[in-house]
Amino acid sequence: MAFPPRYLTSFGPRQTPHFFTDVLIIGGGIAGLRAALAIPASMNVLVVTKDSIKESNSAYAQGGIAGVMSPEDRFENHIEDTLKAGAGLCDREVVELVVREAPEQIGDLIRFGTQFDKENGQLALTQEGGHSHRRIVHALGDATGHEVMRAIIERARQASHIRLWDRTCLIDLLTYEGQCVGALVHRPRFGKMSIWAKQTILASGGVGVVYRETTNPPIATGDGMAAAYRAGAQLRDMEFMQFHPTVLYVAGSSRYLISEAVRGEGAYLRDVNGRRFMLPPNPTPADLRPDPGRAELQPRDIVAQAIFQCMEETQHPNVYLDLSHLPPERVHERFPGISKVCRTFGLDITRDPIPVRPGAHYMVGGVTVDSRGHSTLPGLWAAGEVSSSGLHGANRLASNSLVEGLVFGAACGRGAAEAARAMPDRFVVPPLEYHVPPCESAERVDVTDMTNSLRSLMVRKMGIVRERKSLLEAERSVRFWCRYALGREFRNRAGWELQNLLLIARLMIQAALERTESRGTHFRSDFPERRESEWGQRHLDCPAQLPD
């Protein structure tokens, strides 16, 4: 059996209903809807989302959107902060493009109806880890994503040329003669459907669910990345999974993100003994704090690794965020959502330390795209977390994700519209080589158990700190599960999600084994230093095929 199989399920021209559109957008988060709004009204646009249109990683964003909005700030400052956080792997031209377009995109959001927080009639700005200035715009205190998506969804619904299909699960991208020509999807009322598009934009988000502890909602199972890989698009830098340093940790409860902005407003990180471990003189053997002057406001990779080491040293399952020295009224006003969640556990965030630990948050790698958002597969574009644009390098700077979705979403919309406009209308189903998978029954696979086992394995063997022995053990386990699960045909979303998670886990582990250095979010305890002479600015492209 070739790994991975080209398609996850059997289908054919007489087996599925067909739908034709100019541009197909897969994903209804900020990148997907910004792409849709950049496409002229003369073209037909179909946006499909896996769950409700309101359910996306974008909607859960707390902190805000980074942009140079203050006279004390400069584009050069934001550029240098991004490059420093990216640990030598950022594409400087892309960084400059996004940073310089950020204020205009924030202005567009305001024009769409987003109500950002203000102080004295001006946009309220906060600071987050890795930023040298206060440049983060936010809304509803700590619910920026909710407000931004409310406005952008409403705008998309008002556009007569944009059609929104929710609860539509991507199964695979369709290709013909080396080009992407649409997607095979599943809708509950219709079953499998073939959507034929002149151009396709992938904005399906990340893969945080591959880890047991994650800030991501259940929809983040890497479907877009996996489908793009099976279709022949290049993926890269899959070793770089960013762990958010501060996720609420209460044993037995679901995890909840505690925004970077909490530290930006002055919160301290303390260990179980009350020590502020991010301050000197508390050096660590791995020298995880190269800029101790910033203390808690260092980039996420450094803070997450320092928390992990602190937990190891104290043998305590978490550390603590302390806001008790800040004005209580300001804390409740700035973080109403976090305050409300913590109250359900009997915690008053103005007085009680918040138990936190790192959790999988953002996939830095993904589908390789150029500065316009075009992938290596003709007819396929990608924007947002599903893509690897060169903006984030080896570690994403806080609050640069939503602005990347805006800038690249708009670029993909413009580029896809231009390409689609040059193509003739053809409502004909191409003669694809349709797929009939092996007839092994999927009924014997306990999807829930295998999914949970995979997620636990990734935390233990492919977490914040990695080393060769554990990675090889992880590779053996995942390869075995792939042989067992990928040769079967599932007929539901949970089965397809498991197959996608297994594929992405293989790619992540392979890349982590290959990169024999520590850089950004990728920390190898057996190679704890950055090795510029060997790796420099080298990206890791995923192989076209993995061994069975």
Would you please indicate which residues are annotated as catalytic (active-site) residues?
300
Token duo for residue 32: 């997907």
Contacts of 104 (CB under 8 A, 6+ apart): none
Half-sphere exposure of 166 (CA within 13 A, CB side): 10
Report CA-CA distances (Å) from 523 to 307, 330, 487.
13, 37, 33
Rounded Cα distance between 391 and 388, Å, is 8
> Among all chains, which residue has been given the structure tokens 């200035």?
133
Strands 136-137, 65-66: pairing is antiparallel
Q: Label residues 473-490 b or e (16+ Cβ within 10 Å = b).
A: ebbebbbebbeebbbbbb
The beta strands (E) that lie in 390-537 are given as 465-466, 523-524
Helix (H) or strand (E) holding 343: helix 336-343
Do 365 and 236 form a contact (C-beta atoms < 8 A)?
yes
Do 548 and 1 form a contact (C-beta atoms < 8 A)?
yes
Number of Cβ atoms within 10 Å of the Cβ of 158? 9
- What region, left, alpha or beta, does residue 468 occupy, with left being phi > 0 and alpha being psi -120 to 50 degrees? alpha
Cα torsion angle, 31, 37, 38, 42, sign: positive
- Environment class of 405 (CB within 10 Å of its CB; exposed 0-12, middle 13-18, buried 19+): buried
Contacts of 333 (CB under 8 A, 6+ apart): 141
Do 207 and 225 form a contact (C-beta atoms < 8 A)?
yes
Token duo for residue 46: 């179909």
Q: Residue 26 carries which DSSP code? A: E
Rounded Cα distance between 275 and 64, Å, is 29
Rounded Cα distance between 327 and 53, Å, is 37
